[in-house]
Amino acid sequence: MTHHQNNEIKFCPYCGTPTQKKIVYEKVRVFCPDCNWVYYEDPKVAAAVLVQQNGSILLARRIFNPNKGEWTLPAGFIDAHEDPEQAAIRECLEETGLEVNISGLREIISGREHDRGADMVIVYDAEIIGGILTAGDDADEVAFFPLDQLPPIAFQATRKVIKSLIQKNNPS
């Protein structure tokens, strides 16, 4: 997985000196030879909601690449200093028009799937408390799908949540 090699930090954000690389805490990191600032890449964290209704789950179809035209749980990045539950509620409202209440933490899924993706996705269980089902933001369609009639799914994280739901519903 390439981690931002093509848009690396070339100048120190504090003093403007061209950066260099050295090993810091057992990893090659960008640093400033002038003021000794070291760049530590923070993880990108997303929040998602799993909304279930009559045996179906709420999915949103992506407008943008990667995976344009495929479906995913309503989700998005958590802003700095934002409560992850609030981020999940906000993203659900932006993408689906539905107001939800978080009813529990379902799962935390790690692993960046693509360069612009999240390093971890916090998936919450949620129930609808208001709003009208309408696609918005980076979704062009939203709908409920029965677990046995799913559309093409965009990401591994969504697939993992669906797989565990199906296993829970059909214990062998």
| Three-state secondary-structure class, residue 94 | helix
Take residue 165 and report the two structure tokens written for it. 């739901």
Task: Round to whole Å and give the CA distance between 139 and 69.
Answer: 9
* Distance, first Cα to last Cα, the chain: 36
Task: Compute and round to an integer the Cα radius of gyration of the chain.
Answer: 19
What stretches of 27-165 adopt beta strand conformation (E)? 27-31, 45-53, 56-62, 71-72, 75-77, 98-110, 120-131, 139-146
- Known active-site residue 82: no
| Three-state secondary-structure class, residue 37 | coil
Catalytic residue among 8, 41, 127, 141, which? 141
Take residue 51 and report the two structure tokens written for it. 């909304």
Distances in Å between the Cα of 49 and the Cα atoms of 13, 14, 15, 82, 97 are: 36, 38, 42, 16, 13
Positions marked active-site: 141
